[in-house]
Structure 1
Amino acid sequence: MATVLAVPDATRKGNQAYDLMRREIVACRLLPGTRFTEAEVMERFEIGKASCRIALQRLAQEGFVSSMPRHGYRVSPVTVKDVDEVFALRMELEPLAARGAAGRVNRAHLERLEQACRRKITVEMGNQIDFFLEANRGFHLAIAAAAGNGRLYRTLSGLLDEMTRLVALGFGVQGVRPNIENDHTAMIEHLVAGDADSAALVARRHVETFRDMTLEKVIASLRDTAVVAPVQPPMQAPMADGGEP
């Protein structure tokens, strides 16, 4: 039998601290631009120096934090350019996923996810946005999965992860919940009917509309929070208009 090697305690605790800090950063409970030291991380998570450095090294490798020599670390800033880039890619890939998924989706599954996106939850705003983002992510990835293109699915999954932080900054800091219109419902109807052209059109319009909503909220949050980087002017990209994350 193969011998199972135990994970060293420092590595296990470092990975746990990484998971917790990543969640805090993505949800913008640790705001972009926030500065902190190794000592603060060690105290907060009750870990030693080796575990702390494992967590921070992983976060730095993934671009969530950056090291400032002799001044600790900083949570990576969010800029308008980030919003532009994420949504520009989604606007190309979501219609492609919709075309591939037309006539191949599970209607009941999509309708359950759509209802979860709209559900009002009596908890504090940050948790409401967390629930919304998880349901919305599931809806869009279910369409990508139905399209049957593994690379498309993985790429969209990464983009939706990046979008989580943008939406949390924009809507969470502003204390409002994203307003979902009827694009998901229209997409379900077109996908079930096998109407690839209409499904792709709604998918693009949907992403364009949510981009505009998110951009407005992110700019407001960047102005309202003192710790974030200055706003960069948005990139120009060929786009139109439409509905939600």
Structure 2
Amino acid sequence: MTEDVRSGRAAGSRATLHDMALKGDQAYDLIRREILSCRILPGARVTEPELGERFGLGKASLRIALQRLTQAGLIASIPRHGYRVTPVTAKDVDEIFTLRLALEPLAARAATGRVNRGQLERLERACRGQMPVEVGNQIDFFMEANRSFHMAIAASSGNERLSRTLSGLMDEMTRLVALGFGVQGVRPNIENDHELLIEHLSAGDADAAERVARRHVETFRDMTMEKVVASLKLADAPLAPADAQFRA
């Protein structure tokens, strides 16, 4: 075998492995998004054939995705019975909001006088606005806008570790909100807290910004806990409808 042939085969092997890894990443992102948005419900049991058929995935890329989802704690393997999506519990809600209560008022105080008001106002309008149909599931759009609003404040605090920690919490919030509100088809009511936050942050009133941030998290915690508990009682279907939409 010539050196050119060996090099060609090695290059082909590397290309195949790269292509497989890329498809595995795409499969992981797809299924992860379905789990976080609760289109695959917490506690649901799923199998490789079911997921492969539902999403049009090959066995190799699907197995890479399932391994990563297991490592991320989003699913658990059930020997000879497929996988189970990690459940959401009232304890999860309590722990996530306990951390948000500790960190978001701190972020608001640190961000006072440092925010981009125009950016926050655009994100606030996105949180409240009627989303165009082509955007897809409205809960995904709402959660992205809401996450971006809170993360813009965290970024303005100048504390990178605080921002990274809140980023992880907001990712976990996606599944809580999807389960609590999306499954029941209702939009979270955030009243005018975002608008008040923008006013206080822009005016340089750190005490007021901290106070509103704390009240906002406390109110949203109570609403989310109520909705999550109600949805868990209804979560007997293994897969939520793929085209579920928010109702205003």
Identify the TM-score tier after normalising by the shorter chain: 0.7 to 0.9
1:171 to 181, 187, 190: 181
What is the CA distance between 1:183 and its match in structure 2?
0.7
1:201 aligns with 2:225: no
Aligned-partner SS, 1:29: coil
Q: Distance in 1 between matches of 2:118 and 2:222?
A: 30
Aligned to 2:40: 30
Residue 101 of structure 1: aligned partner: 111
Q: CA 1:47 to 1:111, structure 2 compared with 1: closer, same or farther past 3 Å? A: closer
Query: Match of 1:235?
Result: none
In the TM superposition, 1:1-245 aligns within 5 A as 6=15, 7-121=17-131, 123=133, 127-226=137-236
Counterparts of 1:122 and 1:145 in 2: how far apart (Å)? 28
Q: For 1:174, what is the secondary structure of its paired residue?
A: coil
TM-superposed deviation, 1:212: 0.5
After superposition, what is the alpha-carbon deviation per residue over 1:37-67, rounded to whole angstroms, capped at 9, x for unaligned?
Answer: 1222333344443322211010001111000
Distance 2:57 2:202 in 1: 51
Which residue of structure 1 aligns with residue 242 of structure 2?
Answer: none
Is the contact between residue 32 and residue 227 of structure 1 (CA under 8 Å) also seen in structure 2? no
The structure in which a higher percent of residues are helix is: 2
Letter in 1 for 2:120: L
Question: 1:127: how far off?
Answer: 1.7
Q: Which amino acid aligns with 1:178?
A: P
Identity %: 71
The separation in 2 between residues aligned to 1:12 and 1:130, in whole angstroms, is 24
- TM-score, with length taken from structure 1: 0.86
| Structure 1 residue 76, shift from structure 2 partner | 0.7
d(CA) in 2 for partners of 1:227, 1:65: 17
Q: Shift of the alpha carbon at 1:227?
A: 5.4
Q: Could you tell me how far 1:122 is from its partner in structure 2?
A: 5.4
2: CA distance, partners of 1:20 / 1:171: 21
Check whether the contact 1:33–1:77 (CA below 8 A) recurs between aligned residues.
yes
Deviation digits for residues 195-218 of structure 1 (CA, Å, limit 9, x no counterpart): 111111110000000011111110
1:225 maps to a residue whose letter is: A
Larger radius of gyration between Structure 1 and Structure 2 = 2
Determine the structure 2 residue equivalent to 1:231: none
The offset of 1:121, in angstroms, is: 2.6
Q: Within 1, Cα distance between the matches of 2:125 and 2:25?
A: 34
CA–CA separation in structure 2 for the residues paired with 1:47 and 1:128: 25
The amino acid of 1:69's aligned partner reads P
CA contact (8 A) 1:170 1:214 kept: yes
Q: Secondary structure at the match of 2:183?
A: helix
